[in-house]
Amino acid sequence: MSVIATPLPILSDNYAWLLRDTSSGAVAVVDPADARAVIEAVKREGGRLDLILLTHHHDDHIAGTDEVRARFGCKVVGAAADAYRLPPLDQAVREGDTVALGQAIGRVIDTPGHTRGHISYYFPDGGVLICADTLFSLGCGKLLEGTAEEMFSSLQKFSLLPGETLVCCGHEYTESNARFALSVDPDNTALQARAAEVKRLRAEGKPTVPSTIASELAANPFIRATDAEMLGRLRAKKDVFR
Ligand code: ZN
Ligand code: FE
């Protein structure tokens, strides 16, 4: 019994994620912002869609939701705190709530920072973390609504997950994140190795994600920040980094 996560590149640099519970065959899609691309992908995978999982209210994550729901008649899950600015929800969730994908159970983690109502989903079976715009590979989301303190505590929650947990984030930002990360932590050999791997993957036109919690803990300066102040300083620096 396990959840398999597959990245689906959509829009310019977003990832929707297809999640399949191997024991029941149930399928979910995370953040289906491009309805046509998601519908085509679901059809390719057998035409079954049980669930839409939403992480936060930004258009590049929710835009296709109503169309995909209408096409497959699936349920939509999102943050109760943000229900007023999300598409209509069939299940409104908070920290610690669970979401059933067939036999697999996902736990909801409250992860404010990028937005106030940003949530993440963790499926222990398969070790899948859906973290959208909170944690990126080698980076973290911009603090558009939340504070450095909130982002710090959100990233701390992720750092407690098993090292092999798959980090399924919302954007392909890894190559530019690597440039910034190397500018602030040039002697980190794990980061140097990851940056080289990322360069090769992108040159081959492949996604750099999912990464793992262990890899991020070794190479990502944002999840490695030791306090909120340090995280805030890094994030401000990254905001103006070219
Ligand atoms: Zn966003
Ligand atoms: Fe986004």
Angle at 52 between CA 51 and CA 58, to 5 degrees: 170
3-state secondary structure of 226: coil
Q: Is the pTM of this model over 0.95?
A: yes
Residue 196 has a pLDDT of: 98
Residue 227 known to be catalytic: no
Tell me which long-range contacts 86-91 makes (C-beta under 8 A, separation of at least 24): 86/54, 86/57, 86/62, 87/54, 87/62, 89/54
DSSP states along 93-142: E-TT-EEEETTEEEEEEE--SSSTT-EEEEETTTTEEEEETTEETTEE--
- Write the Ramachandran bin of 126: left for phi over 0, alpha for psi from -120 to 50, otherwise beta: left
Say if residues 51 and 77 touch (Cβ distance below 8 Å): yes
Q: Which residues pair with 16 in a beta bridge?
A: 8
The one catalytic residue among 50, 110, 114, 118: 114
Residue 13 known to be catalytic: no
The one catalytic residue among 21, 56, 57, 118: 56
Residue 61 known to be catalytic: yes
The one catalytic residue among 34, 58, 110, 118: 58
Cα diameter, the chain: 51
Residue 118 known to be catalytic: no
Residue 47 has a pLDDT of: 97
Residue 58 known to be catalytic: yes
> Minimum-distance ligand to the CA of 57?
1
Is residue 217 packed enough to be buried (19+ CB in 10 Å), middle (13-18) or exposed (0-12)? Answer: middle
Residue 242 has a pLDDT of: 87
Alpha carbon of 57 to ligand 1 centroid (Å): 7
Say if residues 118 and 130 touch (Cβ distance below 8 Å): no
Residue 198 has a pLDDT of: 98
- Identify residue 127 by its one-letter amino acid code: G
- In the chain, where are the structural domains located? 3-239
- Identify residue 93 by its one-letter amino acid code: V
Alpha carbon of 184 to ligand 2 centroid (Å): 24
Residue 171 known to be catalytic: yes
- Superfamily (CATH) of domain 3-239: Ribonuclease Z/Hydroxyacylglutathione hydrolase-like (3.60.15.10)
Residue 155 has a pLDDT of: 98
- Write the Ramachandran bin of 46: left for phi over 0, alpha for psi from -120 to 50, otherwise beta: left
pLDDT tens by residue, the chain, 242 residues: 799 999 999 999 999 999 999 999 999 999 999 999 999 999 999 999 999 999 999 999 999 999 999 999 999 999 999 999 999 999 999 999 999 999 999 999 999 999 999 999 999 999 999 999 999 999 999 999 999 999 999 999 999 999 999 999 999 999 999 999 999 999 999 999 999 999 999 999 999 999 999 999 999 999 999 999 999 999 999 999 98
